[in-house]
Amino acid sequence: MWDAEKGLQRGVDSTMNIRRIGQVWAIAAAVVLFAGGGDVRAQAQKDSPNKLLVQQFTEACNTKKFARLGELVNKGFKRHCQATPAVTVSSLDEFVEFLSADASTFPDAVVAMSQLIEEGDRVAFWGTFTGTQKAPLGPLPASMKKVVLDVSGVFRIESGKIAELWITWDNMAVFTQLELAPAEEKPRNE
C-alpha cells in the first residue's frame, strides 16, 4: 500500500534535487543554439528580414562563431528562461559568456529549427535540441549521454537586431535522458 507521507517526502526530495540540478543545468542549457534546417532557411530568406536575422543568429550559435553575434544582437540583449530561473542574461557580453560555458559542457549542441512564425516584431520558433554532455554539469560528472529534446521560444526584434529571447524546454526530459531523474516506483500489491 502506498504511504502518503513517505511518498510526499520522496516527491519533495526529488523536486528539490531536480530544482538544484535545474540551476546547474542552466550552464549547459544554451538551447539557444539553433541549427538551420534547409527548408526553414529558404523560407526565411523569402519571407522576412526578421526570420533571416533569427536564422543567422542560429548559424552563429551552432558554429560557435560568437563574435558574429555583435552584428545580430543588441548590446542590451535579454534572455528569459523559466527552465533556468537562476541564470540572468542582461547583455550581449553575458550571453556570449553563457554560450561559451555551454559549449564546454555540450560541445556538439545544436537545435534543428523546424518552424519560424513571425508576428510584428516577434519571431517564434520550435526546434529540437541535440547535444552530448561531454564535460561536468556543475557537480555532476560528464555522462557522455546524448540529449534530444523539444525547445521553443520567441525572439523580439528591435532596430534590425535581436533584443530579447524567451526560451523554454522540459528539464525532466533532460534529466531522464541523462539518467538523473528519480526512478519511478511501481506500486506494490499488498
Listing DSSP states for 16-68 in one string gives HHHHHHHHHHHHH--TT--EEPHHHHHHHHHH-HHHHHHHHHHHHHHTT-GGG
Predicted pLDDT of residue 127? 95
Predicted pLDDT of residue 13? 52
Q: What is the pLDDT along the chain (190 residues), one digit of tens a residue?
A: 444 445 445 454 544 444 444 444 444 344 334 434 445 555 555 679 999 999 999 999 999 999 999 999 999 999 999 988 889 999 999 999 999 999 999 999 998 899 999 999 999 999 999 999 999 887 778 999 999 999 999 999 999 999 999 999 998 999 899 988 776 766 777 6
Predicted pLDDT of residue 111? 86
State the fold for domain 4-177: Nuclear Transport Factor 2; Chain: A, (3.10.450)
Q: Are 177 and 146 in contact (CB under 8 A)?
A: yes
**pTM of the entire predicted model:** 0.74
Q: How many residues are present in the chain?
A: 190
> Which secondary-structure segment (H or E) carries 15?
helix 4-28
Predicted pLDDT of residue 29? 40
Rounded-to-integer distance, Cα 75 and Cα 45, Å? 25
Residue environment code for 126-163, b if the CB has 16+ CB neighbours within 10 A, otherwise e: ebbbbbbbebebeeeeebeeebebebebbbbbeeebbb
